[in-house]
Amino acid sequence: MPASLVQNESILAIDVGATVTRAVMFDVVEGQYRFIASGESPSTAEAPFRDIGIGVREAIINLQNIIGATLLGTQDNNLIAPSQPDGSGVDAVVATVSAGPTVKTVVVGLLSDVSVQSARRLAESTYSRVVETLDLSDHRRPDQQMDSIVRSRPDLVVLAGGTDGGASRSIQKMLEAVGLACYLMPLEKRPMVLYAGNQKLASEVQEMLGGHAGKLQISYNIRPSLEVEDLAPASYELASLVMKLRQRQIKGIDELNLWSAGIVLPTAYARGRMIRFLSKLYDSTRGLLSVNVGASATSIAAGFAGELTLGVYPQFGLGENLAGILQYTEVEDIMRWLQLDISPNTLREYLFQKSLYPSAIPATMDEQAITQAIARQALYLSVRTAQKDFPANARAMRTGLMPPLDLIIGGGGAVSDGTSLGQSLLLLLDGIQPVGILPILLDQNNLLPLLGAASSRNHYLPVQVIESGAFIGLGTVVSVIASASYGDQVLRARLTYSDGTEARAEVKFGGLEILPLPTGESARLSLQPLRRADAGLGPGKSGSVTVTGGALGVVIDARGRPLQLPSDPVRRRELIKKWYYTVGG
Amino acid sequence: MLAPVLHVLPLTTIVRERLLPVLGKVNARVNQRVNPTDIVAEANFAREHVLLDVARTFGISAVAADKLIRVKEGDRLTEGALVAEKSGLFGRSVKAPRAGRVMVAGGGQVLMEVGDTRVELRAGLPGMVTQVIAERGVVIRTSGALVQGVWGNGRIDNGLMVSLLEKPDDILTADRLDVSLRGSVILGGHVRDVETLRVAAELPIRGLVISSLLSSLIIPAYQMRYPILVLDGFGALPMNSAAFKLLTTSNKREATVNAEHFDRYSSNRPEVIIPLPVSTEPEEPNSYEAFAVGQTVRMRRPPHAGAIGSISNVHPGLSSLPSGLRARAADVKLENGETVLVPLVNLEVVG
């Protein structure tokens, strides 16, 4: 990269999560942008603090202590910007925010399987929970629909429907219900409204809702025609509306806005932007997947040939919504991941008690095991939910399997707080259950969304930071799909290192095997499946591929896809312990 | 690092906002002394609305319909009252389907609110009104004991507190509830069956303050018409010793149980207030402090969840925990003399 392409400005990136606030420094080292360091602090959006600025300053102070530079003024405790000749301060700030209550959303459209589905997908690209849906098949009277909206006390209304130049009368009826509902709500509680329907009605929407909505944003139609869905422009407008909502809900966002000259984005949106960018940049033929298991939500961002699928699921977040996971899954489905012998009731009470203290962390091994089991199920459910919205060209080879991917990037407290990198990898393998051969990275410092936000200021920074190895390579995973019984041999693998030496593995169905390959090295992996097993090269097909190393090396996961766990709890717990042992405990 | 404070205080100054859920009329004035049952504000609000589409009914334009509408915003209508009328050989009319108030009329339509519900906001605690928030409610200031909890069923009431608690891990069962407890606020331990909640409702009681509740009882607890305040959480948890000592020594005192929802983004937290007379008003408590040696703390998570102790050392940097994680941590000396290492994020200062 020519030096002239680097703007040479230091960037402080701040991520305000539901439980943790991070301050991250990016700066130019030897002509290239690098991740310098990260300082953390508990988040302070919630009571008793109720001002994210407190946690932000604590995180910056911790960052100052690590990098040995002064970023906050000693007198006024304000950010020093731009950077000074004495080395203090920063040149620019960007920020992402996932803290805040779940955004209660009303989705309004015409056809339940067309515009309503698109509006729902759009709503699910941020930290929202759909509390009410209105469409043409809704036979309630307009006043009943209106009362239903008022009763649901929404923070946000997403309105769609009508192809450009198409239906307008039906939408007008919906607009009336929404407008009157807004009118009936107290001024300070009126919802933000995003209109992304028939563009012919834009001025009418402005006239009908402009004076009543908390804030009205009109975007391009998300269904310009029946066959086309385009969420990208509207998702940008939605991100902007959500930040305006957060400004109303959370003290301190205004200051972040001021520091960052307005570059404050919802964390999941910024992560999605980065995945779309990487998917285009690396010309990914299959797909890139980013998963983040956090306190506010579990979010999934998948990029297939530059097309983004972004799903944000607060119902699968590990924070205050934790107990709500039981509305989507049985306790037994979480228990299947546990190597501990505890009762379903103990786990149920754990979920409710933990949701009272989202920022608390596991202090004992048993609690860590329970947290990891819950995170697995939250990830499993989130990936399966998001997968339904993957584009048509990202189909799995069989129902119940993931489509082939080029890369997975995992992150979020529950994933990166594994007590070992092996634990983190095993959680990702169990929750996602990828197929084929692919590397898995760990975004330990939650950099992905911050890079997405930083790309608003500087296009080179994200690429240079990623290429400098800011993520931890966990290893290359080979997933084996086979119709076999536990213990049957399904694969012979041989890893030929650059110095000519070899490592071999006879892989049995139901097991995990590791062939060591250090980070930064590559080697040739030869695979010879047995029993028509598919090790990523096709059923029964042998071959060799070049693989890259990582903390774990090459991990051959022959536990089957979908992963079959023994129904006998004693045997299952023994197996889980064995897998933990294989990846380093 | 900053520490959230859990209030368990024998005597403090308590300032609480009491607000209507909708705009209404405030009855109290600044410097007025109020009792818990005094109605400080009231409002009428409609749970339902009726939209009368005059233009469509008459098959005319909105502009033409507006000329036929006989009501205006704010009008109170009885059931069957005339809303709009079209004269002529086949004259037709639109009448109010239910009694209500006209909210808006125009565009060929009339929107009425119907099914008026009256909301009365009681003071909830005895004290002095220090501020009136126009059309919303009041701020009340009082002195007394304050114990905060972690969960409430959304109700508020007050009464004489009667302790049925002998030790922190007591279980409250239905057979301990008899008619002598009618109209009381009951202090109990762990509740594990719905029968206990039902028998308490049948007496009836004015409030239930307990250490813990089985999560399966959350839905029935919401259905009870008396406030239920959970101090320590879900599952079979004993009452934390600080709350146990304070509340069991306040037996037969008047108590307000405000079992409002724990709202993380506001200051609303479920609590019990025991008003006490004072000659000199104590200071208001801090809502957060910095962690420091000597502070009394409560552990939020296992293995000592709910236990009270005292910080003997705040470790610099990160410490390795038995879970394998690394975090800022402190040594806490428990009441049984044992010293344990606890991550700071799992602690709250008691004070």
pLDDT (0 to 100) of residue B75: 95
Q: What's the topology of domain B9-14+144-275?
A: Glucose Oxidase; domain 1 (3.50.30)
Query: In degrees to the nearest 10, what's the CA dihedral of A239, A244, A249, A255?
Result: 110
Cβ A530 vs Cβ A490: under 8 Å: yes
N-to-C CA span, chain B = 17
pLDDT (0 to 100) of residue B13: 97
Interface mutation vs chain A, best among B265, B284, B299, B318, most A CBs within 10 Å: B265
How far A277 CA lies from chain B's nearest CA (Å)? 33
What mean pLDDT value characterizes chain B? 95
Interchain CB distance below 8 Å, B103 and A417: no
How far A288 CA lies from chain B's nearest CA (Å)? 29
Domain formed by B291-350, architecture? Roll (2.30)
pLDDT digits (tens, 9 = 90+) for B196-255: 999 999 999 999 999 999 999 999 999 999 999 999 999 999 999 999 999 999 999 999
How far B346 CA lies from chain A's nearest CA (Å)? 5
Could you give the C-alpha distances from A398 to A401, A404, A407, A532, A570, in angstroms and in order?
A: 6, 11, 20, 16, 30
Select from B104, B215, B325 the Cβ nearest to the Cβ of A368. Answer: B325
Interchain CB distance below 8 Å, B345 and A360: yes
Cis peptide before A48 (omega within 30 of 0): yes
How far B104 CA lies from chain A's nearest CA (Å)? 10
HSE of B122, CA atoms in CB hemisphere, 13 A: 14
Could you give the C-alpha distances from A64 to A41, A68, A150, in angstroms and in order?
A: 13, 5, 47
The CATH class given to the A103-249 domain equals alpha beta
Residues of chain A with CATH 3.40.50.360: 103-249
Q: Give residues with Cβ within 8 angstroms of A129, minimum separation 6.
A: A102, A103, A104, A105, A314, A315
**Chains A and B: how many Cβ contacts under 8 Å?**
138
Q: Is the pLDDT of residue B261 over 70?
A: yes
For chain A, which residues score pLDDT lower than 50?
1-4
Q: Is the pLDDT of residue B101 over 80?
A: yes
Burial of A76 (0-12, 13-18, 19+ CB in 10 A): exposed
Closest-CA residue of chain A to B317: A62
Give the separation between CA A566 and CA A82, rounded to whole angstroms: 59
pLDDT (0 to 100) of residue A7: 67
Which residues from chain A sit within 8 angstroms of residue B287, using beta carbons? 47-49
How far A135 CA lies from chain B's nearest CA (Å)? 19
Which residues from chain A sit within 8 angstroms of residue B326, using beta carbons? none
Interchain CB distance below 8 Å, B300 and A363: no
Tokens 């924070």, residue located: A319
Helix (H) or strand (E) holding A317: none
Six-digit token string for A25: 């420094």
Report yes or no: B203 at the A interface, CB cutoff 8 Å. Answer: no
DSSP string, A501-546: -EEEEEEETT-EEEE---TT-EEEEEEEESTT-BSSSSBT--EEEE
Which residues from chain A sit within 8 angstroms of residue B342, using beta carbons? 363
pLDDT digits (tens, 9 = 90+) for A376-434: 999 999 999 999 999 988 888 888 899 999 999 999 999 998 789 999 999 999 999 99
Cβ A25 vs Cβ A31: under 8 Å: no
Residues of chain B with CATH 2.30.30.30: 291-350
Residues of chain B with CATH 2.40.50: 44-117
Give the separation between CA B180 and CA B172, rounded to whole angstroms: 16
pLDDT digits (tens, 9 = 90+) for A241-262: 999 999 999 999 999 999 999 9
**SS3 category, B17:** strand
Strand partners, A5: none
Closest-CA residue of chain A to B112: A143
pLDDT (0 to 100) of residue B47: 81
Nearest to B211 by CA among B187, B239, B234: B239
Angle at B320 between CA A63 and CA A477, to 5 degrees: 85
Helix (H) or strand (E) holding A72: none
Interchain CB distance below 8 Å, B51 and A141: yes
- Centre a 10 Å sphere on the Cβ of residue A213 and count the other Cβ atoms it contains: 25
Cβ A482 vs Cβ A534: under 8 Å: yes
Interchain CB distance below 8 Å, A356 and B150: yes
**DSSP tag of B10:** E
Interface mutation vs chain A, best among B321, B334, B347, most A CBs within 10 Å: B321
Nearest to A382 by CA among A298, A318, A321, A270: A298
Cβ A7 vs Cβ A31: under 8 Å: no
What residues 153-192 of chain B have any CB closer than 8 A to a CB of chain A? none
Could you give the C-alpha distances from A260 to A11, A79, A82, A267, in angstroms and in order?
A: 10, 11, 11, 15
Interchain CB distance below 8 Å, A142 and B214: no
Interchain CB distance below 8 Å, B111 and A180: yes
- Centre a 10 Å sphere on the Cβ of residue B294 and count the other Cβ atoms it contains: 7
Domain formed by B44-117, architecture? Beta Barrel (2.40)
HSE of A563, CA atoms in CB hemisphere, 13 A: 26
User: Which is it for strands B137-148 and B8-19: parallel, antiparallel or unpaired?
Assistant: antiparallel
Interface mutation vs chain B, best among A361, A423, A583, most B CBs within 10 Å: A361
Residues of chain B with CATH 3.50.30.40: 9-14+144-275
Cβ A182 vs Cβ A211: under 8 Å: no
Report yes or no: B211 at the A interface, CB cutoff 8 Å. Answer: no
Interchain CB distance below 8 Å, A349 and B264: no
Interface mutation vs chain A, best among B191, B291, B323, most A CBs within 10 Å: B323
Six-digit token string for A252: 């301190």
Give the separation between CA B152 and CA B162, rounded to whole angstroms: 19
Report yes or no: B74 at the A interface, CB cutoff 8 Å. Answer: no
Report yes or no: B321 at the A interface, CB cutoff 8 Å. Answer: yes
- B/e letters for A79-88, b = 16+ CB within 10 Å, e = fewer, are bbbebeeeeb
pLDDT (0 to 100) of residue A212: 93
**SS3 category, B313:** strand
> Any idea how long chain B is?
351
pLDDT (0 to 100) of residue A3: 42
Q: State the sign of the Cα–Cα–Cα–Cα dihedral B63, B67, B70, B71.
A: positive
How far B230 CA lies from chain A's nearest CA (Å)? 12
Give the separation between CA B260 and CA B273, rounded to whole angstroms: 13
CA A538 to chain centre: 30
Report yes or no: B303 at the A interface, CB cutoff 8 Å. Answer: yes
What residues 49-68 of chain B have any CB closer than 8 A to a CB of chain A? 49-51
Interface mutation vs chain A, best among B45, B50, B51, most A CBs within 10 Å: B51
Interchain CB distance below 8 Å, B2 and A49: yes
Cβ A438 vs Cβ A423: under 8 Å: no
Q: Assign domain A3-97 one CATH number from 1.20.1600.10, 3.10.20.370, 3.40.800.10, 3.40.50.1980.
A: 3.10.20.370
DSSP string, A453-511: HHTTT-SHHHHHHHHTT-SEEEEEEEE-B----TT-EEEEEEEE-TTS-EEEEEEETT-
Residues of chain A with CATH 3.10.20.370: 3-97
pLDDT (0 to 100) of residue B266: 82
